[in-house]
Amino acid sequence: MKIKEAVQNGVIPEGLRIFDAHAHVGEGEYNAAYLYTLPVEETLRLSRKIGIGAMAASSFKALVGKGVEGNAKLMELCAAYPKELFAYLYYEPRLSDALLTQINAYRNHPSFIGVKIHPREAKTSIETDAYDPLYAYCEKHGVMILCHTWATEPENNPASFAPVLKRFPKLNLLLGHMGGTYQGCMSSIELAKKYKNVYLDINGSLYSQIWIEELAKLAPQEKLVFSTDQVFNDPRIVVGRVLLSDLDDALKRRILCENFEAAIGRTLLPA
């Protein structure tokens, strides 16, 4: 039975590997809009129910200015759920030395996936050289950076990565939300075509007016990475987007897990 058919009948196919490459955890630390908060075990329960085997998350607390503290708390949570929760440690230029030291300390930890940056929240544009210490470190050590991007937000328009990638062409970069808008998606795709280690995070591109079947024609398919942006957004949105689409099942499997595993060179979910 095809994945789409099984899901329509209320069954997530057994053995389907889904890794959420862009998530958040935290308890009430983010409140620009009302955000429903659940304990991490409940978050993981919902994920399991809809087939997500594990997720890589960053800390809300870190996002709102408490980088070191938030990262440390996140690593504690990862220790409690070592097979289901992995960490992006947050970085912002304002706390560069302390955060780079922390990142370096955890770089070889099994729960460590990479580094999260959010230029809008950090109020520091990717167009500046403020992130260069991080880029240099991550390029040297092959560490993945997940960057929030949205084309209409001046601090993190994905097109602004073009000069950065000229300076750091081997950077392992996951473009969060693919820039969100139609133009943001097109800029992201252009970078993913040009640079070997640039990947495309499909959550958010739901609102780009590019359906996923068309996205798979426009973008390098091996660069498309599944993620949900939970617990900011509902994970059922992007799970449904992939599972119920008309993409063929082999491509769905690549997007849902295999592409990200290839990007970071690790097996994250058992076969």
Partner 1 sequence: MIFKDINSGFYLEQKTGRYAATGTEVSRCGEALGIVSAAYMNLDRGCGTLRQTNDMTREFCREKSGRFPVLRLLPPGYPDECYAREEIVQLASEEKALFRVCPGQDASPLTPWMFGWMLDVLTETRTPLLVSLQELELRDAAAVKEAYPDLRLVITNTTQWMNRQYIRFAQHYPEVYFDTSNIIEYYGMENIVNLLGAERILFGTYMPEKEPYDKVFQLLYCELSEEQKQLIAYGNFERLVEER
Q: Any idea of the CA torsion for 68, 69, 71, 77, to the nearest 10 degrees?
A: 160
Q: Which is nearer to partner 1, 243 or 251 (CB)?
A: 243
Q: Which is nearer to partner 1, 36 or 270 (CB)?
A: 36
Q: Which is nearer to partner 1, 104 or 209 (CB)?
A: 209
Q: How many CB atoms lie within 10 A of CB 238?
A: 27
Q: Which is nearer to partner 1, 40 or 95 (CB)?
A: 40
Contact residue for partner 1 among 1, 2, 8, 39 (CB under 8 A): 8
What is the closest distance, in whole angstroms, from the C-beta atom of residue 102 to partner 1 in the complex?
A: 27
Contact residue for partner 1 among 106, 136, 182, 262 (CB under 8 A): 182
Q: Which is nearer to partner 1, 45 or 123 (CB)?
A: 45
Contact residue for partner 1 among 33, 97, 166, 270 (CB under 8 A): 33
Contact residue for partner 1 among 115, 178, 200, 210 (CB under 8 A): 210
Q: Which is nearer to partner 1, 10 or 265 (CB)?
A: 10
Residues 6+ apart with CB under 8 A from 198: 161, 165, 171, 173, 175, 191, 192, 223
Task: Fill in the per-residue mask, 218 to 247: x = in contact with partner 1 (CB under 8 A), - = not in contact.
Answer: x-----------xxxxx-xxxxxxxxxxx-
Contact residue for partner 1 among 206, 225, 256, 264 (CB under 8 A): 206
Angstrom distance (rounded) from CA 172 to CA 184: 19
Q: Are 75 and 94 in contact (CB under 8 A)?
A: no
Of 102, 112, 164, which Cα lies nearest the Cα of 139?
164
Beta strands across the sheet bearing 112-117: 18-25, 52-59, 85-90, 112-117, 144-148, 172-176, 198-201, 224-225
The strand pairing partners of 116, in sequence order, are 90, 146
Number of residues located near partner 1, criterion CB under 8 A: 38
What is the closest distance, in whole angstroms, from the C-beta atom of residue 230 to partner 1 in the complex?
A: 6
Q: Which two tokens stand for residue 90?
A: 């947050």
According to the binding rule CB under 8 A, does residue 213 interact with partner 1? yes
Q: Are 238 and 202 in contact (CB under 8 A)?
A: yes
Of 117, 130, 187, which Cα lies nearest the Cα of 158?
187
Of 116, 112, 114, which Cα lies nearest the Cα of 64?
116
Question: Which of these segments, 63-71, 74-82, 165-173, 212-220, binds partner 1 (CB under 8 A)?
Answer: 212-220
According to the binding rule CB under 8 A, does residue 212 interact with partner 1? yes
What is the closest distance, in whole angstroms, from the C-beta atom of residue 52 to partner 1 in the complex?
A: 12
Binding site for partner 1 (CB under 8 A): 7-8, 10, 32-36, 38, 49-50, 182, 206-214, 218, 230-234, 236-246
